Structure 1
Amino acid sequence: MLNFDPHRWLEEHQEVPEISSLATLAATHPKTGKQGNEWKLFDSNSLDENGEKRELEGDPAKVARPAKVVLREWSVSLAALDGGKPSPGIDRKVWRELIECSLWWLDGFGQQAARDGWRTGDVFGFRLDHPRQGGLIDRLGTARNLLLDGKRARWRSHGDLVMKFNAGAYPELPAFWEAD
């Protein structure tokens, strides 16, 4: 037997304000439906003088960087790289592998990742002190069987071993071309 009361349903849904923009949605509490931004937005790419993530000001809809801008920054940065001149501390073979993987990834997944909110550190991040533990490109290596689903990447490495990486894991890592 169905216990659905349409009058009760209408009452509950009339209490929630109409959401007319992304900014309103971001400032709307999910349980109460009341306005009031209880969450703070942080820029994971910049730190304040105390080493803390810098709080972003303003309308949440205006804070997000457009995917076209992010994609262009990635494209310009990769186009400027020279396969014969690695960043200090990176082996020449690893450097070429990073560039080749980055170009392959950008061509097949760049637009999707930019739309899904991946950051430069998530994708191109590099840790000189921990090889193969940086961003997605560093971890991918020579694998070319990537599945990118929103903010999660999965691929097979060394046969049947399934590797996973989530966007947001290391947004502050410097890109491999900035590593020193």
Structure 2
Amino acid sequence: MILLPLTLGTGHTRRTCMLKFLVVDVPSAYNVILGRPTLNAFQVVISMYHMKIKFSTPGGLGEVQGDPLQSQRFYIEAVRKGQKRSSNEALEETPSYKRGKDGELEEDPEASRGTRPKDLEGIDLEVITHHLNIDPQVKPVKQKKRHFGPKKDKIIQAVIDKLMAAGHVEEIQFPE
């Protein structure tokens, strides 16, 4: 963090405040990002529609007008300067799909072998298993059953079946 003076406005409607800036060395489309502390220090009123900010100064009302064309040019230049992926860098594999009997896309089980959670090895279950921090002394509360239409029920059941087959969820029984 460094302390720098920031001046907004021109001429007699200019205002300067000393502000803390965090300097980072990363590619960005912006030279500076002014957050809420900065806007509060200048008591700025923002108009996104007009691309303008206004603030009070001893010499009257100051304003800073944005320029959309210049902003677009800076953004395009920043994107062009961005890091490009090298051509020999490995890309992440995506599962293959094939058309089923009904014409819908289905995942090809042969192509996705080894990508299911139960097929993965080498990661300790303590690391990848989520546990809720629940007091065992507290009695569970039964939620009101939500009713959906028959179409929605079939979709929900299909998703639950997929999650159970993958080993992400399991059925449990709560006492009434």
Give your verdict on TM over 0.5: no
TM-score between both structures, scaled by the size of structure 1: 0.18
Query: Which of the pair has the greater relative contact order for Cα pairs under 8 Å at 6+ separation?
Result: 1
Larger helix share, 1 or 2? 1
Based on CA coordinates, which of the two structures has the bigger radius of gyration? 2
Larger strand share, 1 or 2? 2
TM-score between both structures, scaled by the size of structure 2: 0.18
